[in-house]
């Protein structure tokens, strides 16, 4: 596996790329940037001329990640040349959010194979139900890890776009199947959020819309817990107060859900992923230090279980909500990940509207919110 990276800061133009491509024989190129950067007129043609043999994929972000930190309106380009691993790239255009499950089933059927080891998936951030998407993939692929995330649009929540070769569009789901015994895949998920207040039972919900908690209207109860000042800033302030879904019969967090919208007419809360009736939830809050520690937990899950002393790539997908809490100090979580994984591991990634990865210590790929997820990729050429 050979990895080469190029980066353009917010004040650099496409013409500022070096004249020579660092890896013209690349098999796969990952591109992360703002909606504005991905909309630049000559982007696709320049990328294709620099990487003529590659499949080029990517998406818009709420901030871009590389080993040096976190950036806005930059362009992060990561070229990968597989030495033994085989890849297959597919994509589709969403018709409605309600078709998220069926879209994933169709993509998974195209990728399914006996030697499939992992799937990289990047989707629209606003027109896809991430929970349903992951359920669709799992229905066909079982325990094959699905990693990636939902595109971002800063804190605007207006439009996200996806890139595949010569196409930039919203509403896309892009999936890359990676095959062969030489591929090394490891995943990590870290949180850092602390539940507070009593557990609440979801007594009425419709997929990602919660209407009642403990038989009471959801919005007034939520507003009471976050306080009057924060309630005035909803839904934006809700990024700092996600829901923790608690594992059945335990106190452990199973997954976290980010608030996307509120509806005062029916007192409902709309989250970035499904919150099912009967589930137990608690309100969450976090500090900067706890979130950074959570990102470190994700990196340790990889470093403690994988030999990371060879060339590797860590694709980090973190949540826009974490960026909102940590603000200009958000770089600290990326620096800690790099420190733990080591300089031989290249870093790329983005801040998202939802993260795809297996739950910690499991093979159960789900939609996460408010987490730092890491997909570590490498090759064992002796396998």
95 Cβ neighbours under 8 A, 6+ residues apart: none
Q: Do strands 216-217 and 253-257 pair parallel, antiparallel, or not at all (unpaired)?
A: unpaired
Contact 209, 270 (CB under 8 A): yes
The conformational region for residue 73 under phi > 0 = left, psi -120 to 50 = alpha, else beta, is left
Q: Give the global pTM.
A: 0.91
Strand, helix or coil for residue 157: coil
User: How far is residue 45's CA from residue 97's CA, in Å, rounded to a whole number?
Assistant: 31
Contact 162, 71 (CB under 8 A): no
- Using alpha carbons, select from 182, 54, 125, 57 the residue that is nearest to residue 133: 125
In order along its 383 residues, the chain shows pLDDT tens digits of 999 999 999 999 999 999 999 999 999 999 999 999 999 999 999 999 999 999 999 999 999 999 999 999 999 999 999 999 999 999 999 888 789 999 999 999 999 999 999 999 999 998 899 999 999 999 999 999 999 999 999 988 889 999 999 999 999 999 999 999 999 999 999 999 988 888 999 999 998 899 999 999 999 999 998 888 989 988 888 888 888 898 776 667 778 888 878 999 999 998 888 899 999 999 888 889 999 999 999 999 999 988 878 899 999 999 998 998 898 999 999 999 999 999 999 999 999 999 999 988 888 999 999 999 999 999 998 86
322 Cβ neighbours under 8 A, 6+ residues apart: 192, 291, 330, 333, 351, 370, 371, 372
In this prediction, residue 246 carries a pLDDT of: 87
In this prediction, residue 260 carries a pLDDT of: 79
Distances (CA, A) of 87 to 30, 112, 211, 234, 383: 13, 12, 43, 43, 17
User: How far is residue 107's CA from residue 312's CA, in Å, rounded to a whole number?
Assistant: 27
What is the phi/psi pair of residue 127, to 5°?
-115, 20
- The angle, 0 to 180 degrees and rounded to 10, between the axes of the packed helices 331-341 and 288-303 is 20
**Residue 279 structure tokens:** 């589930």
Place of tokens 């790099």: 338
What are the E-state strand segments in 52-141?
Answer: 55-60, 64-66, 69-71, 75-81, 86-93, 116-123
User: How far is residue 19's CA from residue 8's CA, in Å, rounded to a whole number?
Assistant: 14
Q: How far apart are the first and last CA of the chain?
A: 13
Distances (CA, A) of 17 to 12, 70, 87: 9, 20, 27
User: How far is residue 339's CA from residue 308's CA, in Å, rounded to a whole number?
Assistant: 12
The residue ranges of every structural domain in the chain are 2-190+289-379, 194-285
Longest dimension (CA), the chain: 63
In this prediction, residue 383 carries a pLDDT of: 64
Contact 209, 248 (CB under 8 A): no
Distances (CA, A) of 108 to 2, 76, 98, 142: 27, 27, 17, 10
CB atoms within 10 A of CB 18: 8
């Amino acid at each position: 596996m050979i990895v080469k990276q190029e980066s353009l800061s917010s004040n650099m133009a496409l013409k500022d790329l070096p004249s020579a491509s660092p890896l013209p024989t690349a098999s796969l190129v990952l591109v992360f940037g703002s909606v504005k950067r991905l909309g630049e007129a000559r982007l696709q043609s320049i990328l294709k001329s620099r990487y003529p043999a590659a499949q080029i994929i990517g998406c818009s972000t709420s901030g871009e990640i590389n080993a040096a930190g976190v950036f806005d309106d930059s362009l992060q380009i990561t070229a990968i040349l597989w030495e033994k691993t085989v890849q297959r790239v597919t994509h589709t255009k969403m018709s409605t959010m309600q078709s998220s499950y069926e879209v994933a089933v169709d993509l998974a059927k195209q990728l399914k194979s006996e030697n499939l080891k992992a799937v990289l998936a990047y989707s629209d951030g606003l027109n896809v139900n991430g929970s349903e998407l992951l359920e669709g993939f799992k229905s066909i692929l079982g325990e094959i890890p699905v990693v990636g995330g939902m595109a971002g649009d800063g804190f605007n929540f207006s439009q996200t776009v996806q890139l595949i070769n010569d196409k930039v569009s919203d509403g896309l789901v892009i999936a890359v199947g990676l095959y062969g015994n030489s591929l090394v895949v490891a995943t990590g998920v870290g949180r850092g959020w602390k539940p507070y207040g009593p557990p609440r039972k979801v007594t009425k919900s419709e997929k990602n819309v919660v209407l009642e908690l403990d038989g009471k209207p959801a919005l007034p109860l939520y507003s009471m817990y976050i306080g009057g000042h924060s309630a005035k800033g909803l839904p934006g302030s809700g990024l700092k107060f996600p829901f923790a879904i608690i594992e059945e019969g335990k106190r452990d967090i199973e997954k976290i859900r980010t608030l996307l919208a509120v509806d005062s007419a029916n007192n409902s809360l709309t989250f970035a992923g499904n919150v099912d009736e009967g589930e137990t939830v608690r309100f969450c809050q976090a500090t900067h230090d706890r979130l950074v520690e959570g990102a470190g937990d994700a990196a340790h899950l990889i470093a403690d279980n994988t030999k990371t002393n060879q060339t590797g790539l860590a694709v980090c997908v973190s949540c826009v909500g974490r960026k909102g809490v940590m603000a200009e100090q958000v770089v600290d979580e990326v620096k800690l990940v790099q420190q733990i994984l080591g300089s031989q591991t290249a870093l790329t990634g983005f801040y998202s509207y939802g993260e795809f990865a297996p739950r910690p210590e499991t093979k159960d790929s789900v939609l996460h919110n408010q987490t730092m997820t890491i997909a570590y990729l490498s090759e064992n050429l002796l396998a």
